[in-house]
Amino acid sequence: MRRSQKDTAETRANIIEAASQILRARGIEATSVADVMSAVGLTVGGFYRHFDSKDALVAEAIETASLETTARHSEKSAGREGDLVALLETYLSDAHRKNPGRGCPVATLCSEVAHGDKTTKKAFTGAMRRLFGTVDAAIGQRSEGDRGQALFLSRATHDETLACEILSAVRERLLEKRKSHRAIRGKD
């Protein structure tokens, strides 16, 4: 039966929240619409009153997950710029590794998103940008998400310019880095 506008909005939010956790924990393809709906205590049929398709939900869930984790990180560093210790203790922790469902969506979905549709890629690109921002702030310099991710992140975005930038920036950085490394060691 019909629900009040408040209830409807609440249900929608619940679906997104549940999806954002299940997707991060199990991956996109391994998560069914029915899984998400039953996690909220509803049946599949009602899903399409809230979303056009599974892809639409995935995009919103990624966005929500990204906003949540970004907020958590800036909260932990409590506004102090360059709080690298706080970031490392949360982001690169075993707790984060073992709890993908509440963690960074970029880390969990990076390679799967490369085969997703455009809406998904767009949401993921937003999440990537936020992650870069967090890392940059903690390190105190531009880092491109600290490099290694370059190739698979460049594949996961729909934005061709960004993809090229990521790769070329990282190439330059690594060369620079070796140069300074050799200078210190007196090699070459």
27 φ/ψ sector (left φ>0, alpha ψ -120 to 50, else beta): left
By CB under 8 A, residue 92 contacts its own copies: yes
Tokens at 106, concatenated: 């970029």
Quick check: 108 and 27 in contact, CB under 8 A?
Answer: yes
Among the listed residues 15, 110, 127, 137, the single contact to its own copies using CB under 8 A: 110
Rounded to an integer, what distance in angstroms lies between the CA atom of residue 151 and that of residue 111?
10
Shorter beta-carbon distance to its own copies: residue 6 or 185: 185
Interface residue with DNA, options 16, 24, 25, 43 (CB under 7 A): 43
Interface residue with DNA among 20, 21, 31, 120 (CB under 7 A) is 31
Per CB under 8 A, does 48 bind its own copies? no
- In order, the DSSP letters of 28-79 are STT--HHHHHHHTT--GGGGGGT-S-HHHHHHHHHHHHHHHHHHHHHHHTTT
**Residues found near its own copies in the complex (CB under 8 A):** 26-27, 29-30, 82, 84-85, 88, 91-94, 96-97, 100, 104, 107-112, 114-115, 139-141, 145-152, 154-155, 163-164, 167, 170-171, 174-175, 178, 181
